Amino acid sequence: MSTATTLDAPATEPGQSQPEHAAAATAAPLEGAELLARARALAQDFAAKAAAYDATGQAPAEQFQQLLQADLLRLTIARRDGGHGAGLPLARRVVQAIAEGDPSVALILSMHYSQHASIARSQRQSDAGKRPWPAALAQRLTQQALRAPALINAVQVEPELGSPSYGGLPATIARHTDAGWRISGHKIYSTGSHLLDWLNVLAITDEPEPRLGQFLVARDAPGVRLVETWNPLGMRATASHDFVFEDVLIPLDHAVALYSAAQGQRRDEHAFAWYLSLVGSVYTGVAIAARDWLAAFLQRRKPTVLGGAALASLPTVQEQVGHIQLLLHTSETLLDAHAHAYEAGAAHSELGLTARHVAMEHAARATTLALELAGNHGLSGHNALERHFRNAHCGLIHAPSAALIRGNLGRALLLEQ
């Protein structure tokens, strides 16, 4: 399991009171230690199912019912709205714990957590006169998520555009009509597609002065079509299929935080910080699972040439396992440092990018070292390490890419000289 042990109290704004209108039907919020313990218990059950879901690519609907029953889906919903009000430090540890069992479940969960953290932040800001999420829409999404999985994710990537992290404007169009917005376009790599109730769609308006922003689309709205295209190396149960939107009508108040498209892609630094931390935690969880499998294998494996001694007794093996430990300890330390800095209002984007870069690179390296030590056993589909290796290497393709991170950091430094 993770070496991180410090837990954080649920986050609230300084001086913020808890309104009396919090959902009466929702149980009181739980403390961090209990929530993390529940995540770890579920992870053990998810691990037993992970191979079957990996083989079929089936979306893990059962696991999200279990997460709901364990009271973990309301983790990042504000306490005043009936959630646990968890901040980023606790959310990232819960995600990492779930990823040790099944990272596909953890990745879908991380996106849901990020969206609700954004909604909670928006409603705090509305008290100060800012309202990037319309209040009625935010309340509707929150209340649904207290009673059912009601999963939500942003769908942004397009066949021609690629990831928005590289810049450029989407081809997905939002047409303004008297009846509402009409959305048309094509999105790819939509994590959790089959399980989503809500799609947060990046689109550009057809107005004389186009605006860019997010448009909340119900998954079952007429004109929304899911196209099954996902057939990857790993992370197969994320079911990250395509969505095609064919003149989908949504209410006018389902537009979120529109701004002039002339500004180009404008990054939400809060949402980006959550994304960097949680996606890094997913793949660190994969590598921890690989390390734990390897440790058990090395203690169990006793080649005759060693006279009954286990591979774990060899100094060369111990040194390699120590290398894996250092890689994972570095990743966890950076991810925790970033999450705590963010919660304290002191995080800078370089720290988040560094934590994400290190977590992904180290997860891939750690599982590679584990495979080298396990030999043919690690390549066998009968053993979990083969799946961990495939899953960990999928982390390398998440936007922003390692090359983009390094290039941007290098450019920023050199242009300051």
Task: Clarify whether residues 273 and 411 are in a common domain.
Answer: yes
- Of the chain, the end-to-end C-alpha distance in Å amounts to 44
pLDDT of residue 89: 97
Residues 285 and 380 in one domain: yes
The reply to whether 317 falls in a domain is yes
pLDDT of residue 1: 42
The answer to whether residue 9 sits within a structural domain is no
Per DSSP, what are the bridge partners of residue 151?
196
> Residue 26 pLDDT more than 70?
no
Query: Which tokens in the block code for residue 405?
Result: 């991170």
pLDDT tens digits along 361-377: 999 999 999 999 999 99
Distances from the Cα of 138 to the Cα of 119, 131, 132, 254, 283, angstroms: 6, 10, 10, 10, 30
Rounded to the nearest 5°, which phi and psi values hold at 229? -125, -10
Q: What's the mean pLDDT in 23-45?
A: 84
* 14 is a domain residue: no
Residue 11 placed within a domain: no
DSSP string covering 105-127, please? HHHHHHHHHHHHHHHHHHHHHHT
Q: Residue 408 — pLDDT band, cuts 50, 70, 90?
A: confident
pLDDT recorded at residue 11: 43
Query: Residue 13: which residues within 8 A CB-CB, separation 6 or more?
Result: 124
Rounded Cα distance between 415 and 411, Å, is 6
The last residue of one of the domains, among 214, 236, 263, is 263
Q: Does residue 231 fall inside a structural domain?
A: yes
Q: Which of 10, 211, 183 is nearest to 91 (CA)?
A: 10
Regarding whether 66 and 169 lie in a shared domain, the answer is no
- Say how far apart CA 295 and CA 365 lie, in whole Å: 16
Same domain, 279 and 383: yes
**Is residue 21 one of the residues assigned to a domain?**
no
248 neighbors 303 (Cβ within 8 angstroms): no
CATH number at residue 37: 1.10.540.10
404's CB contacts (< 8 A; 6+ apart) are 165, 166
- 92-133 confidence digits (pLDDT tens): 999 999 999 999 999 999 999 999 999 999 877 655 445 678
Task: Decide: residue 6, CB within 10 A, 0-12 exposed, 13-18 middle, 19+ buried.
Answer: exposed
Question: Percentage of residues in the chain with pLDDT exceeding 90?
Answer: 81
Q: Which domain holds residue 46?
A: 32-149
**Higher-pLDDT residue of 159, 167:** 159
Residues in Cβ contact with 331 at an 8 Å cutoff, skipping those fewer than 6 apart: 280, 284, 287, 355, 358, 359, 362, 363
pLDDT over 70 (residue 43): yes
Residue 19 in domain = no
Tell me, yes or no, whether 287 and 172 share the same domain.
no
- Whether residues 190 and 288 share a domain: the answer is no
Final residue in a domain of this structure, among 263, 298, 331: 263
Number of domains in the chain: 3
Share of the chain above pLDDT 70, in %: 92
Span 243-294, pLDDT tens digits:
999 999 999 999 998 999 998 888 888 999 999 999 999 999 999 999 999 9
Note whether 56 and 128 are same-domain residues: yes
Last residue of a domain, one of 117, 149, 181: 149
One domain, residues 196 and 325: no
* 93 shares its domain with 176: no
**CATH code (residue 341):** 1.20.140.10
Query: Which of 221, 230, 220 is closest to 248 using CA atoms?
Result: 221
- 54 near 101, Cβ under 8 Å? no
pLDDT, residue 199, reads 98
> pLDDT-based confidence at 167, cuts 50/70/90?
confident
The answer to whether the beta carbons of residues 105 and 149 sit under 8 Å apart is no
Which DSSP letter does residue 92 get?
H
Beta-ladder partners of 255? 215
pTM: 0.91
113 belongs to a structural domain:
yes
Cα–Cα distance for residue pair 35/72, rounded to 1 Å: 7
